[in-house]
Structure 1
Amino acid sequence: MNKPLSSLQFPAIVDPFGRVDALRVARCIGFIATVLILWVSLRPFPDLGDPTIGDGEKGKLATTYITLGILSVAVLMLTAFRHAQAFRSLLTPMCLLLCCWMCINTVFSHDFEISSQRLILTASAIALAASLLLLPDSQTELDLWLSAAVLIFLAVCYLGVILAPSLSIHLASDTSESQLAGDWRGPYGHKNVAASIMAMLVFVGLYLASRRAIISGVLIASLAAFFLISTGGKSAMAVCVGALVLSAMVAAIKNILVRACLCFLPLLCLNLLTVGSVFSERFAAVAKLLPFDATFTGRTDIWAFAISSLALHPLLGYGFAAFWGTDAIESLVQNDQIEWTAFASHSHNGYLDSALTMGYPGLALIVIIFVVAPLRNFSAAMRFGNDEPLAKLFLRIWLFGIYLSSMESFLLDRADPIWFTFLIGVFGLHYLARFRLTREPKAA
């Protein structure tokens, strides 16, 4: 990039004269509120033993739409004028193409109402993630606010386990997946979500510790790691370790092609051995040699169902977020029989789900924007001398996300906390590749 990097001011609450800056207070509140609402959600600690838990969800969902809509507008108002250049930098041809394709996909969806509603919620989450890093005036403020938000969130999670264990830990009396009894799930409905969030918070703790915030950094990393282990989330733990190792190797190597091989070849192999084992006997034979369940805890059945369904609508898919849990599945019923896989909430593979809902063109755009571009942005950030610990944090979050997507589905999943945190990593790398950090708050 030949153009000079501008100074992107990443706000102090009190100015040098001791006066409270109301606008900066608003930005601080907006930052912490955004993080907590997206991580904790407006429907925390669901009672999984209640068979009527799904009743009344529409009313609660309406509250989520309204709250996130208002919050996204407020945060955009706090950042849009100050950082118009940063927002304009997001309007890349590929991003505009993806936005257009999502709209086209929604119009031709098998369930227009569901697709349009979920598109609005997804857009709100994307707007919040894109604005979040633009709220602080400096990296010091970013560190301070991030520490506060994460510690509050961890306090909520641990207080839930201590004060309301029946709502924070999987029980044998749960209406589904009673075999998970004893695994911590925090404010979420499943341990896998809690495990993924805690894994990414380990990265946050390590980043803060590297920024000489030793006490808060070590505390966050330790609390998040213990909670992660307590969830029993094997996939999240494995991907967490893998992301740490890969990020260290990527940061140490300067060649972009070698970096690409390090990041993408294992990812390709992982998807070939998982989803690829469904349509290739050769890959299936290799998968059987691995020292764990070759069906990946029954996911091969779901992948087979998803792939056969995708073959019917390869171009447009079934509509934005309009396959699992919708009437689209009913058209796939044969002989009045429907396998249990048709009742799954997702395919346990984010790339496959992206193709299911937006067709192969949509999948290609997602891979370009969320898989390929962030590595290029990391390389640019390092070349321009931007803060290495912060770039490593975003790199680890991004690596964790693209690998976890091979086993879980969260890409473009509305206000999903994993998706939101992954977006922070993606947008963070985008900004660091184009703008210089302001290390300390500017004097008034």
Structure 2
Amino acid sequence: MSDLCVTTDSRALLADIARRPVMDIVRCALFIGILLLVWISLRPFEDLSGFYVGEVVSGKDAVLYGLFGVLMVAMLALTLRDNLPALQSLLTPAFLLFAGWICVTVVLSSDPATSLRRLALSVFVIAVTATLLLLPKSQGELMRWFGIAALVLLVTCYLGVFLAPHLSIHQATDPQEPALAGNWRGVFGHKNVAAAMMAMLIFLGIYLMRAGGWLSGIAVTGLAAVFLFFTAGKSAIVLCVAVLMLTSLMPVIRSRLGRALLLLTPLLLLNLFSVGAVMSDTLAAIADKMPIDTSFTGRADIWAFALESLHQRLWTGYGFEAFWGTSAIQNLQEGKEWAGYASHSHNGYLDTALGTGLPGLVLLIAAIVVKPLRDFQAADLGGNDTPLTLLFLRIWLFGLYLSSMESFFLDRADTIWVTFLIGVFGLHYLARFRLRS
């Protein structure tokens, strides 16, 4: 009987074949694990009975820093060889100029140590998010992994509501906002975050249905819609409906100018009649005649304080993430002591200006407002007019609108920020590369 002869090339081929299932499991685990880390966080179901906002803006969570640092190295190692052109494509003028200016604001910061520490985590998180969408090797894998992660999050939120309501539903005994009693928040620290995530999960569920995953799509959409209702997040509900209506017109309106006017005009109006109303008596008078709460649930006072503070450092800002919760806020007037405990201004554009000055705000708009819209147009006209492209468009647009009332831009590992980045990077890749079937 002759021996079976295996050449060196054959051994390498067999080893490669054996390695593939292992790598498939690693890719799947990393994709779902990273999404759940961002969505559920390391501290879900936070007890708000003794919760103070100032405690969560210190940027000293060593475990989170270390974890995302390791994840960044692992993700780059997994994706660099097969996806080098995709990673190189991220070196666009809009991204590079914005990143460069942020580095300048760290140097000029009123608290350089805090800015540098928070920038480090932001870099880790952005790198992980930019490589996340490069892990799936096909549309089928991406659809399945998205579906699994979304269902795990939703099931966890519902289990919290039914098994530990005191940790997943706002209570009248919460010292910060007792008026929110009864509003669902699930694993999240606030019902506004829960509402925003549920709205984005509705977009994800619609994508799953349109991409062929009917069972998972219906489950995600239905569970997210019910949870969104019980959060009582009025802004998120209205914006979710508005985004679905506006994006449904994309097949009808094909020109870049028409789409820009349709999608960005509401963004302009939202900021004009919110922060703008604080700056202009004329806009305030117009806003008073509208059927809305012109104080925007107390946000007007915060915007007025933030604008007054911004005026003192208009061109450089206070430094990257170096205003709220830092020594930059001092010698407060009587009646404004609350500013020392605030974590943000409830407007992402205003907070960006506070941290990076007016040049930073302009560069932010170029990088995450103008560029993604151009990417969507390029992807659509280039043949990537798919349910996935529409998903990323909806996540991006919802984030832009929501930032007129909430602040999450550049906020390190913030749940909404990372999900928003998935939309931004998704549009970037689809504008430049064809989808694998």
For the aligned pair, the TM-score class normalised by the smaller chain equals: over 0.9
| Structure 1 position 393 matched with structure 2 position 391 | yes
| Structure 1 position 219 matched with structure 2 position 224 | no
Deviation at 1:338, TM superposition (A): 3.6
Residue matched to 1:33: 33
Contact 1:119–1:320 (8 Å) recurs in 2: yes
Provide the C-alpha distance between the structure 2 equivalents of 1:57 and 1:329, rounded to a whole number of angstroms.
14
Q: Where do 5+ consecutive residues of structure 1 fail to align? A: 1-16, 440-444
- Of the three residues 360, 363, 373, the one matched with 2:361 is 363
1:37-48 matches, within 5 Å, as 37-48=37-48
Provide the C-alpha distance between the structure 2 equivalents of 1:134 and 1:107, rounded to a whole number of angstroms.
33
Deviation at 1:251, TM superposition (A): 3.6
| Structure 1 position 83 matched with structure 2 position 83 | yes
Provide the C-alpha distance between the structure 2 equivalents of 1:246 and 1:84, rounded to a whole number of angstroms.
35
1:224-373 matches, within 5 Å, as 224-330=224-330, 333-334=332-333, 338-373=336-371
Which range moves more in the overlay, 55-64 or 405-414? 55-64
Question: Which runs of structure 1 show a deviation greater than 4 angstroms over 4 or more consecutive aligned residues?
Answer: 17-20, 51-60
Which range moves more in the overlay, 28-37 or 47-56? 47-56
Contact 2:53–2:343 (8 Å) recurs in 1: no
Q: Where do 5+ consecutive residues of structure 2 fail to align? A: 1-16
Three-state SS of the structure 1 residue aligned to 2:250 is: helix
Contact 1:317–1:359 (8 Å) recurs in 2: yes
Contact 1:109–1:320 (8 Å) recurs in 2: yes
Deviation at 1:298, TM superposition (A): 1.2
- Of the three residues 416, 431, 434, the one matched with 1:433 is 431
**Residues 109 and 60 of structure 1, relative CA distance in 2, 3 Å threshold:** closer
Deviation at 1:52, TM superposition (A): 8.0
Contact 1:169–1:183 (8 Å) recurs in 2: yes
Deviation at 1:150, TM superposition (A): 0.8
Deviation at 1:269, TM superposition (A): 1.3
**Residues 290 and 89 of structure 1, relative CA distance in 2, 3 Å threshold:** same
Deviation at 1:59, TM superposition (A): 10
Contact 2:57–2:325 (8 Å) recurs in 1: no
TM-score (ref. length: structure 1):
0.91
Provide the C-alpha distance between the structure 2 equivalents of 1:237 and 1:53, rounded to a whole number of angstroms.
25
Provide the C-alpha distance between the structure 2 equivalents of 1:57 and 1:305, rounded to a whole number of angstroms.
19
Give the residue type in structure 2 aligned to 1:396. Answer: R
Contact 2:51–2:176 (8 Å) recurs in 1: no
Residue matched to 1:12: none
Three-state SS of the structure 2 residue aligned to 1:330 is: coil
Aligned residues: 422
Deviation at 1:404, TM superposition (A): 0.4
Give the residue type in structure 1 aligned to 2:88. Answer: R
Three-state SS of the structure 1 residue aligned to 2:300 is: helix
Give the residue type in structure 2 aligned to 1:359. Answer: G
Identity percentage of aligned residues: 54
Deviation at 1:51, TM superposition (A): 5.3
Deviation at 1:339, TM superposition (A): 4.2
**Residues 51 and 102 of structure 1, relative CA distance in 2, 3 Å threshold:** closer
Provide the C-alpha distance between the structure 2 equivalents of 1:159 and 1:251, rounded to a whole number of angstroms.
39
Deviation at 1:345, TM superposition (A): 1.5
Deviations along 1:36-76, one digit per CA (max 9) or x if unpaired, are: 00111111111001358977997981111111111122112
- Of the three residues 388, 413, 416, the one matched with 1:415 is 413
Deviations along 1:15-53, one digit per CA (max 9) or x if unpaired, are: xx9986111211111101110001111111110013589
Provide the C-alpha distance between the structure 1 equivalents of 2:301 and 2:245, rounded to a whole number of angstroms.
31
Deviations along 1:182-234, one digit per CA (max 9) or x if unpaired, are: 00111111110111011000000000001121111011000011111111111
Give the residue type in structure 1 aligned to 2:374. Answer: R
Contact 1:47–1:53 (8 Å) recurs in 2: no
